[in-house]
Amino acid sequence: MSIKDLAEGTREIAKAMGVTLKHLMVKPVTVESPDQPIMVYPRFRGRHYLRRYDNGMERCIGCELCEAACPTGAIYVEAEENDPEHPISPGDRHAKIYEINLLRCIFCGECAEACPIVFVPFWGTPRDRKLYEYAHEAPSVMTVPLVVLAIGALIGGVVGLPEASWLHHWLAPTFEGVAREGEAGGIVWVLMSVSALVALAGIYFAYRVYVVRPEIASAIRRALGPLDSVIQHRYYVDEFYTMAVINPLKSLGDWLSQVFDHQGIDGLVNGVGNVTLWAGERVRRVQTGLVGTYAFALFVGVVALMAYFVWVAQ
């Protein structure tokens, strides 16, 4: 190493130490975090603040339908049973954890459409002005593509109407000569109209129940009796799936991890090592380091070898 390299290395070390010494006396930003944790509101679930009714109950009932409807898997909901004496939401369950990964969210609105009480979480006046002012609409880079997609969906729906669009007749020559089985004609329009009316009736009913007269929801639940619990739990499909699939697989995984892996595979490998250590511990005692002992062992070996050739090998 030349003097020039030595000087360059010394200069770099001094430069690095200068950065350390420069920030050594600066108060760290997070020094007070363990001692003075940030206050979290009672209705924060993960990264989100859940709304509630005038009576203090949270509007989200932890049904997890928004999580199931999300096309990108950006929503995570973990429900918890309500305490009968101190319920958190009007239903049997409430959202223990409610998180939306905004890095994956595409703002498609599927969660809002899937919510059985869409008027509940997205209707009303803000109760925390600070949080309300912090929330903001998505920028134009997000809203403009959504508007374009909405217009495209509307046009696509109109174009796809049976016997009413140019696309239907434009593709007719392609399927000329092909048996047109199952063509129902007017029944298609009847089914489309009925489904649209049912959807509009559901929206109107939800508006009347959860916005105009919220007390109707409680009356309906009381009238349904035990059936209300069945509906709130979505016919116990999740519970059955958890009992029949998730818990057995989890138990199997725990057994494979704790018993088969630790005691079986690790036990076999460690057992070979332990036997080797045990044998080495006892064999090493033969190595005394005394020349006389080694000479005597050599003498015994020679005598045993001669005895073998004299009495056995003949």
- The pLDDT tens digits for 169-198 are 777 777 666 655 555 567 878 888 898 899
The answer to the question of residue 2 being in a domain is: no
What's the number of CA atoms in the CB half-sphere (13 Å) around residue 206?
Answer: 17
Q: Provide CB contacts within 8 A for 10, sequence distance 6+.
A: none
Q: Report the Cα 306 to chain-centroid distance in Å.
A: 77
**DSSP state, 139?**
P
> What pLDDT is recorded for position 241?
87
Q: Are residues 157 and 211 in the same domain?
A: yes
Mapped onto helix, strand or coil, the DSSP state of residue 80 is: strand
| Cβ atoms of 70 and 110 closer than 8 Å | yes
> What pLDDT is recorded for position 197?
93
The answer to the question of residue 286 being in a domain is: yes
Mapped onto helix, strand or coil, the DSSP state of residue 254 is: helix
Q: Are residues 52 and 119 in the same domain?
A: yes
> What pLDDT is recorded for position 131?
55
> What pLDDT is recorded for position 49?
65
The answer to the question of residue 92 being in a domain is: yes
Handedness of CA 184, 185, 190, 195 (dihedral sign): positive
Residues in the chain: 314
User: Alpha-carbon distance 231 to 119, whole Å?
Assistant: 19
> What pLDDT is recorded for position 313?
62
Specify the DSSP element, H or E, that contains 186: helix 186-207
Handedness of CA 266, 269, 271, 273 (dihedral sign): negative
User: Alpha-carbon distance 14 to 286, whole Å?
Assistant: 58
> What pLDDT is recorded for position 249?
92
> What pLDDT is recorded for position 44?
60
The answer to the question of residue 206 being in a domain is: yes
The model's pTM: 0.38
Neighbours of 68 (CB within 10 A): 13
Region label for 62, one of left (φ > 0), alpha (ψ between -120 and 50) or beta (otherwise): left
Residue that the structure tokens 């069945």 belong to: 230
The answer to the question of residue 16 being in a domain is: no
Q: Are residues 112 and 144 in the same domain?
A: no
- Residues in the chain, pLDDT under 70: 1, 27-49, 91, 117-138, 163-165, 168, 175-185, 313-314
The answer to the question of residue 19 being in a domain is: no
Q: Are residues 204 and 246 in the same domain?
A: no
> What pLDDT is recorded for position 183?
55
The answer to the question of residue 18 being in a domain is: no
What's the number of CA atoms in the CB half-sphere (13 Å) around residue 22?
Answer: 6
Q: Are residues 268 and 223 in the same domain?
A: no
Q: Domain containing 146: what range? A: 140-174+186-231
| Cβ atoms of 49 and 135 closer than 8 Å | no
Q: Are residues 225 and 266 in the same domain?
A: no
> What pLDDT is recorded for position 35?
58
Q: Are residues 105 and 119 in the same domain?
A: yes
What's the number of CA atoms in the CB half-sphere (13 Å) around residue 208?
Answer: 8
The answer to the question of residue 312 being in a domain is: no
| Cβ atoms of 60 and 95 closer than 8 Å | yes
Neighbours of 117 (CB within 10 A): 19
Q: Give the count of domains, the chain.
A: 3
